[in-house]
Structure 1
Amino acid sequence: MRNEFHTIDNITDGDIYINCAESYLIKYLATAVKRLNGRYPGIHYHITSGDTSIVAEHLDRGLIDMAFIAKPHDLSEYVYLGIPESDTWGVLIYVQGLSAGAKFRNLTGRFDPVFHLLLGTIHKGRPVGKK
């Protein structure tokens, strides 16, 4: 992208390669792409997803033009803009038929035991850790 576009005023068409972390925060990318596409319909976007380490590796190797990451990363080698929100992570489990307060250990063998350590008790209809 750097070599193809010298200034924003000269953009008429081209390809932009973007790698994104899997996050709802890519809504900011979607908004920007929609606006830019309205002004410059000849630009084609190639958007792929991956975790932060893969995204950073692709950026370092010049395989992509820009990246959206969700978890902290050493940004000292990059030019970047912060996003005014942060991700909230959690685990969703289909619990139809389970009563509120069902112990996670009742699901032994169906899910990774690590989730039990993280979740403890399932509370239907509210975030884990909230009473």
Structure 2
Amino acid sequence: MDLRVLEYFLMAAEEGSITHASELLHVSQPTVSRQLIELEKELGKTLFTRTHKNVSLTQEGLLFRETAREILALYQKAMRENTGAETLAGDIYLGMGETGSVVFLMEQIAVFRERHPGVHFHLISENADRICEDIEKGLLDVGFIMRKANPLTFEILEMGLRETWGLLVPEGHPLENATSVTGKQLRREKLILPENSFFQSELLRYLGAGAQERVGATYNLIYNAFPLAKASRELIVCLGYPGERQGGLIFIPFANGKDAYASLIWKKRPVQNPALAAFLEHIGHTVSE
């Protein structure tokens, strides 16, 4: 298998178009198209679903993309070692939720990029369910989540960061001056819950009987729920810090101190791409200090 064909494959997958890929690669479109067809024959798999103008990866294509990235990353690492090059470059696809703990991660990315400006981060906002799924599919390299992950599937780095479950309450609401709230106090309140199924089941148990019927909406990205909370006077159940204010809403923790802890997770595999391996080493060293 020619390594150039892997580059053709990855570029076409990223662009969603063989024509665009060929333009960026400075290779004729028929050549790229022919090489990709030969690659599929060699592997005995259909990697692309083709339409008149676009292409998209099949399930087998998604899995092969992960393999192609690893092969090219290993080749690039070997070339750097052979030439004595010290420049680290590559792409890291990072999935994360919208939580306050992300600030620490962004600070560490900034420090890392000062040392390795050739590494490009793709920041993808998703909930923890989707992050876990997309890491398994190879769509993400690493995820930052506020829940437990399966240690049989993922490598897990505990970040030592804690957030508390509670409510975002509109200003002027009767609960706005409370220092904490119990499930009993919320029996008549309409609620907006996170879309994440793992969190929902835990939170509904805490909120007690009838809570499910009081859930008027769920959210994936919390900032999109702010206008609804203000308009409807419903309460957003989320993670936060006591006294925090977001978008005109006040965070009040649950009375029992129900907490969540941040983790960085990535797929178990013998070899990581060099950029990701270096970033994980940086984060691990920082957390252990």
TM-score (norm: length of structure 1): 0.69
SS in 2 for 1:24: coil
12-21 vs 62-71, which deviates more? 12-21
1:95, distance to aligned residue in structure 2 (A):
3.2
Distance 2:100 2:110 in 1: 16
Which structure: larger Rg?
Answer: 2
* Amino acid of the structure 2 residue aligned with 1:36: F
1:125, distance to aligned residue in structure 2 (A):
8.6
Give the one of 151, 154, 157 matched to 1:78. Answer: 154
Give the one of 98, 119, 123 matched to 1:47. Answer: 123
Alignment of 1:89-128 (within 5 A): 89-96=165-172, 98=174, 111-112=190-191, 113-114=214-215, 127-128=253-254
Distance 2:87 2:155 in 1: 21
1:72, distance to aligned residue in structure 2 (A):
1.6
Distance 2:121 2:252 in 1: 38
1:55, distance to aligned residue in structure 2 (A):
0.2
Give the one of 21, 29, 42 matched to 2:97. Answer: 21
Distance 2:94 2:116 in 1: 17
SS in 2 for 1:80: strand
Of Structure 1 and Structure 2, the greater strand share is in 2
| 1:102-129: CA deviation from partner (whole Å, max 9, x where unpaired) | x7678x6xx332588x9xxxxx996453
Count, aligned residues: 120
Structure 1 unaligned blocks of 5 or more: 119-123
Q: Once superposed, what is the RMSD of the aligned Cα atoms?
A: 3.5
Distance 1:125 1:14 in 2: 39
Q: Is the 8 A contact 1:52 1:73 kept in 2?
A: no
Structure 2 unaligned blocks of 5 or more: 1-68, 79-84, 179-184, 192-213, 216-233, 238-249, 257-289
SS in 2 for 1:15: strand
Q: Is the 8 A contact 1:16 1:44 kept in 2?
A: yes
1:129 aligned to 2:205?
A: no
Distance 1:11 1:26, change over 3 A: farther
Distance 2:70 2:137 in 1: 14
Name 2:114's counterpart in structure 1: 38
Distance 1:93 1:126 in 2: 7
Distance 1:89 1:37 in 2: 32
1:57 aligned to 2:142?
A: no
Distance 1:128 1:27 in 2: 23
Distance 1:97 1:78 in 2: 42
Distance 1:82 1:128, change over 3 A: closer
